[in-house]
Amino acid sequence: MRRLALVVVVAFLSLILYSHVSYGSYTVTNLNTTVTLLANTSAEVTEVLTVQVSNQSVQQYTTDRAALNLTLEEWQSLIGPTLTQHIINPEKGVFNFRFLPGALVKEANGGRAYLLMSYYVLNVTSISRLQPREFLYTFRPSTFNFEHGVSGEVLPSNTTLTIVLPSGSSITSIYPIPDAPASGITNNYANVSRASWFFGEPLSKFELTFTITESLQTEVLKFFSGVYAYLGIFSFIIIALFILLFIIYAYVKASR
C-alpha cells in the first residue's frame, strides 16, 4: 500500500515537472499596437508584446524560440490570449502575417523578451469623394479586436493603441480624445500625423475621420492608370496615335 502511494506521488510530481518545463511561465506585461493607415483603405499593423519570463522558464523560452516549427497556435498556448491579431477584418482576414519572437534579455528575476507580429488588413477605412481631388476617410471600429467590457470594447491594461495617418492627411473628427499628443486638441489636431490611446480608453464609440487632397499630378497618373487597366496595351497605341495626329496637325498648320 505504501509502495503504491509512493508511486502515485512520484508520478504526480513528474507530471507537474513535465508540465512546468513544457509550458513555462510567461507573463505579458505590455502590448503596443500600431496601425499605419494606407491611402488604399488597407492598413499595416505592427504589434509588440513585452513578455516577462521567470527564472525557471528561461531555458524553456530559449528552446521554444529555437523551435522554428512552432505554430502561432502553439505560441498562443504558451503566452495566452493576448497573443492574437487585434486589428482584423472578419470577412477578409489578414495577409502577409509574420511572427518573430525576440531574443531574451537577461534580468535578475529571469528575463524579458519582445514578440513581434506584423500583418496587413484590408478595408480598415472607408472612403468617399468630397471634391474632385478631395477624399474623406472613415476608420472602421468593427476592425478592433481588443477586450470586451460591460460598456463595449475597451483597451485592456498595459496596452497602447497608435494610429498613423497617411501622408498629407487632415483630421476632421476624432473620439475619444487621444492621450498623445496631449497638445493636439488645442489646435484641432492640425498637422497631427499620429495619435495614441492608452489602457482603459473605451472603443465602443470610437470615431476617426480625415481628409486627403490629391495633387493634380496624382489625379493625372490615376487617370492614365485607369485607362491602361481598361484598355491594356491598346492605351499606348491610342496615346501614340493622338501624339502623331497632333504632330501632323502642327506641321500642316506651320506649312501654310
Nearest CA among 44, 31, 33 for reference residue 161: 33
Nearest CA among 177, 229, 183, 216 for reference residue 198: 177
pLDDT at 7 over 50: no
Output phi, psi for 208, to 5 deg: -150, 115
Average pLDDT of span 193-221: 84
Nearest CA among 64, 47, 45 for reference residue 103: 64
pLDDT score for 8: 40
Residue of higher predicted confidence among 14 and 147: 147
Distances (CA, A) of 93 to 87, 120, 157, 174: 10, 9, 26, 26
The string of pLDDT tens digits covering residues 134-169 is 999 999 999 999 998 888 899 999 999 999 999 999
Query: Which residue ranges make up each domain of the chain?
Result: 26-213, 216-255
Distances (CA, A) of 75 to 28, 59, 189: 13, 16, 39
Q: Say yes or no: domain 26-213 is CATH 2.60.40.
A: yes
The string of pLDDT tens digits covering residues 33-48 is 999 999 999 999 999 9
The string of pLDDT tens digits covering residues 76-99 is 988 988 999 999 998 888 999 999
Q: How buried is 32 (Cβ within 10 angstroms: 0-12 exposed, 13-18 middle, 19+ buried)? A: middle
pLDDT score for 133: 81
